[in-house]
Structure 1
Amino acid sequence: MKISHRLGVAVAILIGEEEEPDPVPVVGRIGAGGSIDTSTEQFDVANPLYVIEPPFALPADALALEIHGESMWPRYDHGDVIIVSMHGSDIKSIIGFEAAVATEDGKRYLKRVIEGSRRGLFNLESHNAPAMRDVKVTWVSEVITVVRASQVKRIKDHARRSIQRQVRAAL
């Protein structure tokens, strides 16, 4: 119990009854409001902005995006991290729901997806910003879960190795 408390790791994980969730790469930022500059982000899982420790196990293709902006407030806050599927979702299953979307011009948004005026075009809605009308969407993914900004635990490689050494030494 002392080791568990000191390391902030569940006893079940320490004794091998439960697996620690795999870290999730935060591969970029997503706009919840105005446009953000994504030109320096490659959406590259191998070279993430940083890595977070999720509160529970997630699908193998999970990746994370950090929210920037406040047009989806009060549902999402600036700095929250959403977990999505790298492979995306069928857009027809997303109609009427909030999702991570990438547009034809390479920008990423967190928006409610609504059918547009023509086939292949969609309206992207926010809580507190004007809707984006008749946008071509190139990728969409449902939001699997949200990690609140205050709960985001960034993991550095050296910190992870240090924790693993401490656990092995304590056992």
Structure 2
Amino acid sequence: MLPIFEPDTVIICRAHTQDVAQHIGRRVAVGTVEHGRQLKILHQGSRSDLFDLISLNQAYPTMRDVKVEWVARIAAIIPADEWRIIERRIQVEAANGARLKKPSQRRRSV
């Protein structure tokens, strides 16, 4: 099975927390001592302080009874090609001395 995210995909996460249990059942970024940072689906493990980490790519096995140091909810996923478009636009606007504006503040062409 192919990876769910292509190289250079941008994953934006909320601030991490040590209140891991509130994120059970969600796709999250997790930090562990043994396995580093990963994107997983979080499930309760065999004890209250251990968790099962299910891979988003089903080619990889579930990691059972892992001690999770922190968890962060995924807020947005920006595909690599879309991120490159955003970067180019920011560079052009910066070169023209323009400041980024909220969508509601932009002039619409008629």
Q: TM-score, normalised by structure 1?
A: 0.46
Q: Are 2:32 and 1:99 equivalent residues in the alignment? A: no
Distance 1:104 1:85 in 2: 20
**Deviations, residues 83-128 of structure 1 (Å, cap 9, x unaligned):** 1023437322210111000002361000000111112111100132
Work out the CA distance in 1 between the residues paired with 2:18 and 2:82: 26
Take 2:40 and 2:76, find their aligned partners in 1: how far apart are those partners? 15
Question: In structure 2, do the counterparts of structure 1 residues 118 and 142 end up closer, same or farther at CA, with 3 Å as the change threshold?
Answer: same
CA RMSD of aligned residues (A): 2.7
The residue number in structure 2 matching 1:135 is: 66
Query: Tell me, what secondary structure is at the counterpart of 2:17?
Result: coil
Contact map agreement 1:88 1:142 (CA 8 A) in 2: no
Q: Is the 8 A contact 1:89 1:142 kept in 2?
A: no
Q: How many residues align?
A: 93
Amino acid at match of 1:96: G
Cα separation, 1, equivalents of 2:79 and 2:87? 16
Cα displacement (A) at 1:138: 0.7
2:104 alignment partner in structure 1: none
Deviation string, structure 1 residues 112-152 (Cα, Å, up to 9, x no partner): 00111112111100132101111111110111111011111
For structure 2, the residue ranges without an aligned partner over 5 or more in a row are 100-110
Contact 1:78–1:149 at 8 Å: present in 2 too?
yes
Greater relative contact order (CA < 8 Å, ≥ 6 in sequence): 2
Corresponding position of 2:102 = none
- Deviation string, structure 1 residues 48-80 (Cα, Å, up to 9, x no partner): xxxxxxxxxxxxxxxxxxxxx82xx2xx33432
Contact 2:18 2:69 in 1 (8 A): no
Contact 2:16–2:73, Cα closer than 8 Å, also in 1 = no
Question: For residues 1-171 of structure 1, what are the structure 2 equivalents within 5 Å?
Answer: 70=3, 73=4, 76-88=5-17, 90-105=19-34, 107-126=36-55, 127-128=57-58, 129-153=60-84, 155=87, 159=91, 161-163=94-96, 165=97, 167=98
Matches of 1:150 and 1:88, distance apart in 2: 30
Percentage of identical aligned residues: 34
